[in-house]
Amino acid sequence: MAKKEFKAESKRLLDLMVNSIYTHKEIFLRELISNASDAVDKLYFKSLTENIGKNRNDFYINISPDKQNRTLTISDNGIGMTKEDLENNLGIIANSGSFNFKSENKSDDINIIGQFGVGFYSAFMIAKEVIVKSKAYGEEQAYEWKSEGSDGYTIEECSKDSNGTEITLVFKEDTEDEKYSDYLEGWRLQNLIRKYSDYIRYPIQLPVTENVPIEKAEHVHEDGTPCDHDHGEDNAPQYEEVTTIKTINSMVPLWKKNKNELTDEEYNQFYKDKFNEYTDPLVRTHVKNEGTVTYDALLFIPSKAPFNYYSKDYEKGLQLYSNGVMIMQKCKDLLPDYFAFVKGLVDSEDFSLNISREILQHDHQLKLIAKNIEKTIKNELVKLLKNDREKYEGFFKEFGTPVKYGIYESFGANADNLKDLLIFYSSSEKKLVTLAEYKERMKPEQEFIYYAVGKTTEGIDISPKTEAVKAKGYELLYFTEDVDEFAIKMLREYDGKQFKSVSSGDLKLETEEEKKAAEEKSKEYQPLFDEMQKHLAGKVSAVRLSTRLKDHPVCLSSEGEVSVEMQEILKQMPGSDVAKSMQSAPILEINGDHPIFAKLQNFFENDKETLGDYADILLGQAKLAEGFALENPAEFADKITKLLS
């Protein structure tokens, strides 16, 4: 029988499959089962609409491995294919748009296989020959389609008792790298079916061989009474291998069930199985959405960040299903980066099995779903914040940082979405508070939301710079993460109130008169400050009389947008031009009421050299109090020693 040629595009795809170096060849089974399921769907639909006397229970998909002959047969009793169908459906690649043939790049090809599978032809990744016997429903004659790969196929008449399709894969020889015969092992097949096709709505049957104990006939005496003495035979239980056909898949997806049918236990177990987690999720939500987009979604917030969460190995994404069939393991377009920790899945009938990633990315439906999902996650978090503060704090400890980065990286575009999820340590409440709660407690005359930056809350608590704000009775937020102040800068304001760092030049705490008085006093000592600044040239931009200090002698502050703390962080970012351009030396503030101030005045009059040493030491102290590193600790120590001796 003459071989027919494949159409050019099919040939190219087939070549790709035959020579595939793709590592997840296992998806071939998912593809063939999914085709079988579609074929059964079609006949079931016909039976529903045309009353042909078939029940849902009549349908099955059968998988039978034959180790001796190295074949695997997948059969279904679905709609089947006519001769023309075989010609058209298997001779020409399905018109699914999943394959961009312009690509000459091998890794792109691999991506395509990995993301979507490529239907029937994926069989050629593991088979050297594929034989398809099919009998269309209502037809007398069955046909056999046969191909050994890209050089063509044959179609002949054959005999087959009932309608449906039977696909036999003749396996390639095993090589050192590829053990194709693994796919003939019962356990491997069971695993694959459960992994990829658990929720196919028809039974997927597989012969399963088990060791079962052999039941021994009981000894009886001639009078019929049971005999209990030893006859010398081996009493150890004996086993025999029994093979039965079993249904492997559970058939109903958990997310398709009614919420009130499901227990916490079932959800948690599902979560752990599906996403390889060891602990129960912190939050779970089961969404059944009907409207402009119809989908079911199961979303989980883990209770712990995965070990690689903060590395670039971590891949975000939700599993994407098309009506119970998994089409993508990690659809990253469904989650914004700041919610990358969410695990779960989305099932929508609106996606075809072979939709390509490129098309998907621009898919309007997917965008709508992603938007909804984002809203759902946010609402769940707000609910948790309201109803279970302790749990929420647990969440924020694990995943607060990405949320803050979400505000920072978008230049504040996501601020509205995320600002109410933020919590910071409060100086007055001694616990984590929201911005809304802070605002509630603000004093009537208080203009700003004040914050202080430091390494630890304990450190900030005793920092000199917080004295003036605290003395006013204002609450302070403590920022202990590098990203905190950057995120807040992007936020700009909360509910009409701007943020102010306790280290900013003008704290706006004094009245106009107080300010004037301070300026007068400052002028008086200007020559002293000028002398100190001359000595500290390049290290500070100014020396000034402080209005914020109460007990401490000195502190650092900055003018403008970039705080002293931000500058420290920027300094540590290697080679960033932006960082360099944003840097300016801090201001050294001196407490005019501190005993040391009189000493400084004295040195200014009588001993300029010692004034210089004092200036160095005071600057060093101010830095240490902030938790910053000294540029030259040895020199600092020497100066202190000189002073002490």
Residues that bind ligand ADP (CB under 6 A): 31, 35-36, 39, 76, 78-79, 81, 89-90, 94, 96, 119-121, 165, 353-354
Contacts of 617 (CB under 8 A, 6+ apart): 636, 639, 640, 643
Closest separation in Å from C-beta 34 to ligand ADP: 7
Closest separation in Å from C-beta 323 to ligand ADP: 13
Residues 594-625 as b/e (b if ≥16 CB within 10 A, e otherwise) read beebeebeebbeeeeebbbbbbbbbbbbbbeb
Closest separation in Å from C-beta 225 to ligand ADP: 60
- Candidates 509, 499, 490; CA nearest to 449 is 499
d(CA 124, CA 127): 5
* Residue whose CB is less far from ligand ADP, 34 or 427: 34
Cβ-contact 151, 3 below 8 angstroms: yes
* Residue whose CB is less far from ligand ADP, 339 or 351: 351
Closest separation in Å from C-beta 318 to ligand ADP: 22
The distance between the two most distant Cα atoms of the chain, rounded to a whole number of Å, is 130
* Residue whose CB is less far from ligand ADP, 32 or 299: 32
* Residue whose CB is less far from ligand ADP, 76 or 475: 76
Tokens of 590: 């001196």
d(CA 316, CA 339): 9
* Residue whose CB is less far from ligand ADP, 59 or 529: 59
Could you give the dihedral angle defined by the CA atoms of residues 160, 163, 164 and 169, in that order, rounded to the nearest 10 degrees? Answer: 0
Closest separation in Å from C-beta 107 to ligand ADP: 23
d(CA 343, CA 284): 10
Closest separation in Å from C-beta 13 to ligand ADP: 9
Contacts of 83 (CB under 8 A, 6+ apart): 141, 143, 155
Contacts of 87 (CB under 8 A, 6+ apart): 4, 155
- Position with the least CB separation from ligand ADP: 119
* Residue whose CB is less far from ligand ADP, 96 or 329: 96
* Residue whose CB is less far from ligand ADP, 36 or 491: 36
Cβ-contact 366, 360 below 8 angstroms: yes
Say how many residues make up the chain: 645
Cβ-contact 567, 612 below 8 angstroms: no
* Residue whose CB is less far from ligand ADP, 348 or 427: 348
d(CA 148, CA 354): 24
Closest separation in Å from C-beta 305 to ligand ADP: 38
Closest separation in Å from C-beta 184 to ligand ADP: 20
Cβ-contact 591, 552 below 8 angstroms: yes
